[in-house]
Each structure stands twice: as C-alpha cells, then as structure tokens.
Amino acid sequence: MRPTKNEMAMIVMRVVLGIVVLAQSFEFLFGDGAIRAFAHTGLPDAVRLILGWSEVAAAALFLLPQTLVIGAWSLLAVFFGAVVLHLAHGKFDIGGLLVYSMVVIVVLAHRGSRRAEADTIVS
C-alpha cells in the first residue's frame, strides 16, 4: 500500500531534519569556527565532543524507521541540553532548537496517531 500524502510529508520532514541535524552536528564537531566558539564557553572540549557525537547518534537513530522513537527522544534530550547550555551562557538564539524540537514532536505525534488508528481498525 502506498503512503498517503500526510505519511509522505512526515517521512520527508523526518529525513530533512535528520540530515540537517547530522550536517550541523559534524560542523559542531569539526568546524574551526564552532571549535573556537565553544572554547569561549569555558567548558572542557570533551563536553563539545560528547554533545556532538550524542547528536550524531540521535539523528542517525531518528532517520531509521526501526529506531525512530528512541532517536526522537534522544534528539529531544540533546536539544533540551543545548537550550540549557545556550541560556546558561547568555545566548538566547535558541529559535532553531525550538523549531527542531517541534518537528520531532510532530513526527512522534503522527506516529502515535497512526498506531491508534491501526488499533481501532483491528479491534
């Protein structure tokens, strides 16, 4: 059975977000500008590496249908941590993180509604 337009929209939204987060994670991990900017936070570089690789792992899990839910919750945890770190350092440019979080929540909600529909049809 072919996916509906709504299902295709959710798949595209999930894949686009996953790819964008992966690209930004690699920039955060390996980009000279990001490395220099993080050095100004006063936090050890190990924190940057842990955050970056956690984000890579969460985004990869989010991209795979079989691990979408654990990836989604992991991304939300990473985004929450990033928001807290930004705010703690007086950086209030968290709009992107909030939008990314809402995309993850919408994908999770859509997945939940599809399961509820399937359960209703089966019973």
Sign of CA dihedral 75, 58, 18, 93: positive
- In this model, does residue 64 exceed pLDDT 80? yes
| Structure tokens given for 3 | 């996916």
* pLDDT for the residue 123: 46
- The reported pLDDT for the residue numbered 3 is 84
Q: What is the per-residue pLDDT across 71-110, written as a single tens digit (0 to 9) for each?
A: 999 999 999 999 999 999 899 999 999 999 999 999 999 9
pTM for this predicted structure: 0.86
Answer yes or no: is pLDDT of 112 > 70: yes
Residue 60 phi, psi (nearest 5) = -65, -45
